[in-house]
Amino acid sequence: MAGTNELEFVLVTGATGFIGAHVVDTLLGQGLRVRGTTRTLAKGDEMIKARPQYAGKLDFVQIDDFENPGGLVEAVEGVDGIIHTASPFTYDTTNNEKELIIPAINGVRAILEAASASPSVKRVVITSSFASVLDANRKAPPYFTYTGADWNPLSYEEAADPATSAVIAYRGSKKFAELEAWNFVEKKKPAFSLVTLCPPMTFGPVVHPVPSVDKLNESNAMLWKVAKGVNPLPVARVPFWIDVRDLAVAHVESLLKAEVGGKRYTPASPERFSYAMAAEIISEGFPELKDGTRLENQTIDVSHGLDGETAAKELGYEYHSFKDTVRDLIKTFEGFAISSADQWQSPKRFEFKPKPFGDYDIDVKIIACGVCGSDVHTATGGWGNKIWPVVPGHEIIGHAVKVGPKVTTVKVGDRVGVGAQIFACLECDACKEDNETYCKKLLDTYASIYPDGTVAHGGYSSHIRAHEHFTFAIPDGLQTELAAPMLCAGLTAYSPLVRNGVGPGKKVGIVGIGGIGHYGILFAKALGATTYAISRSRAKEADARKMGADGFLATKEENWSSEHEMTFDFILCTASSDDGFDLAPYLSLLKTHGRFIAVGLPEGAGWKVRPQSLIANGCLIGSSHLGSRKETLEMLKIAAEQNIKSWVETIPVGEEGCGTALKRVHNGDVKYRFTLVDYEKQFQ
Ligand SMILES: [Zn+2]
Ligand SMILES: [Zn+2]
């Protein structure tokens, strides 16, 4: 019976685990609705929040204990397929039979009983293990190949013997749990059919919630130890392995392919592995880890094989290479994320996966990142952010550690910057006219979603992956922590200045002396204009004059504008507060058809403008968003040539540092920009 099981709604047990989370993503990617079981609903919530593109297609139920599965019958209700990945796994037991073997068997029985009680379930797929296949006493020569027909000859008594090791007991738990499933199906003849998968060591990128790398699943944790220079290298018990993404596809295809009902597969890569191979891949692929990685010779057992071909052929997928798997695992990015608006002051360590690496992409290992007002408006939900968790930061500087084959402007090792825009179509009229910041397909550097569904995260993190167009070489003369804030705040000021003809002979006003405003003064001056700072009080007058301001107006003083009426060519307003803001006196400063450009974005309703306010001098008001790649490169060049010095306070990146920076920016307690530094102390 070839064809497809018509499934819509799938239950995944252990859905917040390493394999389970990949299975969930594969199902969602195929358009199915998914219910996950988890021991802690908070982890389920984290997974839902990390997948805003699948809102409404993923829900979780809490099952603490499959031996005592209150709620399992309800969980199964309405689903038409089940993937059971949950299983006790620990070598840290005091009673193997009670802690490993019996819970595994009871878990399988409970899920199958619940499935039989629900007539809509067509297929159940169970994650078993190669442990349930191998025979520890079978020795080559002659060469032999394990297949799905082989069973571990271990007896229940041997596995449950208190004197046996936890490794043997674990193998027993997998074997007898799987056997329970096949016996159940044979005896009870349920309406669903069963498929079991017996994978070996499983490696690959992490998509489930983990607080830190030392909380990884056992096999990945081994690879991390290798990356961190463990001495001596671990020795693999068996040379067989599979990439978790391939295993997830194998699960989903086992569920969907009608004709594979009743089969038992051993999905495994045809390539053998050793930890010495992993060490070599890591030291070749990650220059920053090279010195710490220990290289050894390890012999790989080639005396026997494992049949992964049958699964690949019948289920229809291909295997990742060990090299890609190791690289993609080590490549998982880490950052400091805000989990929700009410937690905006408490960023937490967070792992995330970048978008797939494209031909024009560059991976940047971050060394510094400015803290922008936008970070606060996003983290607090003030601008209505809906994407959580979010890693803020869009004034990023780092070193290119990987460049795509079509990249021409950056080489590995170059110091580069990434600003507040991460994507545009690069094909539309706006894009072709150096107005990519106005492209309809524009994506912000963080709190946005790529077309493939990947959530983009910002620079409070170890790395960022960016298209070459949005990655800028930083001129040698510029100091990293001073250059970082130019990439958003600097550009936001610079672009409207040059677009509105600011230069020698022009009189320019900069309203608001904060992060953007201080760049307004620095760049207006650098462009040769007569520059006035306009602020509420005179508290920042001395600073503004040091930045180069020729004049200073304090708006709380009576008749502050009258002396300068109709003398300004251009005003850049960087203030983002809108309460009590009276536009009229500002506009009165402008010459005939002078321009007032506002770049501060208030959280509230903004101002009311009547044509009558514009009529006295025929002035124009408008706004401006960031700037183009062309302007970014020009700005950096001018900054280097004229030795423009940003006013920056540095703060060490970390949960504490990011939280402090956000709070202080929120309170306006910064002169005039923070740059997060000391990245090497937080990230490997
Ligand atoms: Zn910004
Ligand atoms: Zn475009």
In this prediction the ipTM stands at 0.97
Give the pLDDT confidence score for residue 174 in this predicted structure. 93
Strand 241-243 versus strand 201-203 pairing type: parallel
Residue 222 covered by a domain: no
Query: For residue 645, how many other CB atoms are within 10 A of its CB?
Result: 12
Cα first-last separation, the chain: 51
Residue 470 and residue 519 in one domain? no
pLDDT tens column, 274-298: 999 999 988 887 655 667 778 888 8
Q: At what angle do helices 629-641 and 489-499 cross, to 10 degrees?
A: 100
Which residues have C-beta within 8 Å of that of residue 323, sequence separation ≥ 6? Answer: 281, 285
Instruction: For residue 596, give the CATH number of its domain.
Output: 3.40.50.720
DSSP state of 140: P
Q: How far is residue 573's CA from residue 589's CA, in Å, rounded to a whole number?
A: 13
Determine contact, residues 198/128, Cβ cutoff 8 Å: yes
Q: How far is residue 25's CA from residue 330's CA, in Å, rounded to a whole number?
A: 20
Give the pLDDT confidence score for residue 283 in this predicted structure. 84
Residue 449 covered by a domain: yes
pLDDT tens column, 334-358: 899 999 999 999 999 887 878 888 8
Q: Which of 83, 121, 85, 125 is nearest to 104 (CA)?
A: 85
Give the pLDDT confidence score for residue 1 in this predicted structure. 46
Residue 504 and residue 524 in one domain? yes
Q: Does residue 2 carry a pLDDT above 80?
A: no
- What's the CA-to-centroid distance between 50 and ligand 2, angstroms? 27
Determine contact, residues 515/372, Cβ cutoff 8 Å: yes
Backbone phi, psi, residue 43, to 5°: -65, -40
Query: For residue 134, how many other CB atoms are within 10 A of its CB?
Result: 25
Residue 415 and residue 507 in one domain? no
49 DSSP β-pair partners: none
Ligand nearest to the CA of 628: 2
- What's the CA-to-centroid distance between 450 and ligand 2, angstroms? 14
- What's the CA-to-centroid distance between 528 and ligand 1, angstroms? 25
Residue 52 and residue 198 in one domain? yes
Ligand nearest to the CA of 485: 1
Ligand nearest to the CA of 516: 1
Ligand nearest to the CA of 433: 2
Q: Which of 323, 49, 353, 325 is nearest to 206 (CA)?
A: 353
Residue 192 belongs to what domain range? 9-210+241-270+304-319
- What's the CA-to-centroid distance between 558 and ligand 2, angstroms? 47
Query: For residue 585, how many other CB atoms are within 10 A of its CB?
Result: 16
Q: How far is residue 154's CA from residue 133's CA, in Å, rounded to a whole number?
A: 10
CA dihedral 624, 629, 635, 640 (to 10 degrees): 160
**Between the CA of residue 677 and those of 366, 369, 421, 658, 680, what are the distances in Å?**
9, 7, 21, 10, 9
* DSSP letters for 473-537: EPPTTS-HHHHGGGGTHHHHHHHHHHHTT--TT-EEEEE--SHHHHHHHHHHHHTT-EEEEEESS
- What's the CA-to-centroid distance between 495 and ligand 1, angstroms? 14
Residue 366 covered by a domain: yes
Ligand nearest to the CA of 437: 2
Q: Does residue 604 carry a pLDDT above 70?
A: yes
Determine contact, residues 371/396, Cβ cutoff 8 Å: no
Give me the chain's average pLDDT, please.
Answer: 91
Residue 219 covered by a domain: no
Q: How far is residue 536's CA from residue 514's CA, in Å, rounded to a whole number?
A: 12
pLDDT tens column, 151-209: 999 999 999 998 888 888 889 999 999 999 999 999 999 999 999 999 999 998 776 76
- What's the CA-to-centroid distance between 470 and ligand 2, angstroms? 13
Q: Which of 122, 120, 116, 251 is nearest to 185 (CA)?
A: 116
Residue 651 covered by a domain: no
| pLDDT, mean of residues 628-652 | 97
Block residue for tokens 């080559």: 140
Tell me the pLDDT band of 515, cut-offs 50, 70 and 90.
very high
Q: How far is residue 512's CA from residue 440's CA, in Å, rounded to a whole number?
A: 30
Q: How far is residue 43's CA from residue 64's CA, in Å, rounded to a whole number?
A: 13
Top-confidence residue, 245 or 219: 245
- What's the CA-to-centroid distance between 489 and ligand 1, angstroms? 6
| pLDDT, mean of residues 647-657 | 97
- What's the CA-to-centroid distance between 572 and ligand 2, angstroms? 26
Ligand nearest to the CA of 489: 1
Top-confidence residue, 219 or 469: 469
Residue 454 and residue 495 in one domain? no
Q: At what angle do helices 275-285 and 322-330 cross, to 10 degrees?
A: 60
Determine contact, residues 268/130, Cβ cutoff 8 Å: yes
- What's the CA-to-centroid distance between 622 and ligand 1, angstroms? 19
Give the pLDDT confidence score for residue 377 in this predicted structure. 94
Give the pLDDT confidence score for residue 91 in this predicted structure. 57
Residue 311 and residue 362 in one domain? no
Q: Does residue 97 carry a pLDDT above 80?
A: yes
Residue 247 and residue 359 in one domain? no
- What's the CA-to-centroid distance between 341 and ligand 1, angstroms? 18
Top-confidence residue, 4 or 208: 4
- What's the CA-to-centroid distance between 436 and ligand 2, angstroms? 6
Give the pLDDT confidence score for residue 289 in this predicted structure. 67
Residue 438 and residue 542 in one domain? no
Give the pLDDT confidence score for residue 294 in this predicted structure. 82
- What's the CA-to-centroid distance between 373 and ligand 1, angstroms? 6
- What's the CA-to-centroid distance between 470 and ligand 1, angstroms? 14
Residue 74 and residue 116 in one domain? yes
Degrees (nearest 5) of the Cα angle 308, 310, 311? Answer: 70
Residue 313 and residue 342 in one domain? no
pLDDT over 70 for what percent of the chain? 96
Classify each residue of 455-467 as buried b or exposed e, where b means 16 or more C-beta atoms within 10 Å of its C-beta.
bbbbbbbbbbbbb
Residue 505 and residue 448 in one domain? no
- What's the CA-to-centroid distance between 516 and ligand 1, angstroms? 9
Task: Return the percent helix, strand and coil in the chain, to nearest 5.
Answer: 35, 20, 45
Q: How far is residue 660's CA from residue 41's CA, in Å, rounded to a whole number?
A: 29
Residue 265 and residue 122 in one domain? yes
User: 422: helix, coil or strand?
Assistant: strand
Tell me the H-state helices in 474-514: 480-483, 489-499
pLDDT tens column, 208-227: 766 555 566 777 888 888 88
Give the pLDDT confidence score for residue 66 in this predicted structure. 72
- What's the CA-to-centroid distance between 422 and ligand 2, angstroms? 12
- What's the CA-to-centroid distance between 327 and ligand 1, angstroms? 32
- What's the CA-to-centroid distance between 410 and ligand 1, angstroms? 23
Give the pLDDT confidence score for residue 292 in this predicted structure. 72
448 DSSP β-pair partners: 456
Instruction: For residue 458, give the CATH number of its domain.
Output: 3.90.180.10
Residue 646 covered by a domain: no
Domains in the chain, number: 3
Give the pLDDT confidence score for residue 245 in this predicted structure. 95
Positive or negative torsion for Cα 500, 506, 512, 514: positive
Ligand nearest to the CA of 443: 2
Give the pLDDT confidence score for residue 307 in this predicted structure. 97
Residue 299 covered by a domain: no
Residue 33 covered by a domain: yes
- The one-letter amino acid code at 344 reads W
| pLDDT, mean of residues 401-423 | 91
Give the pLDDT confidence score for residue 461 in this predicted structure. 97
Backbone phi, psi, residue 516, to 5°: -70, -45
Determine contact, residues 294/178, Cβ cutoff 8 Å: no
Q: Which two tokens stand for residue 53?
A: 């593109």
DSSP state of 148: T
Q: How far is residue 534's CA from residue 513's CA, in Å, rounded to a whole number?
A: 8
Q: Does residue 497 carry a pLDDT above 90?
A: yes
| pLDDT, mean of residues 606-630 | 92
Query: For residue 2, how many other CB atoms are within 10 A of its CB?
Result: 7
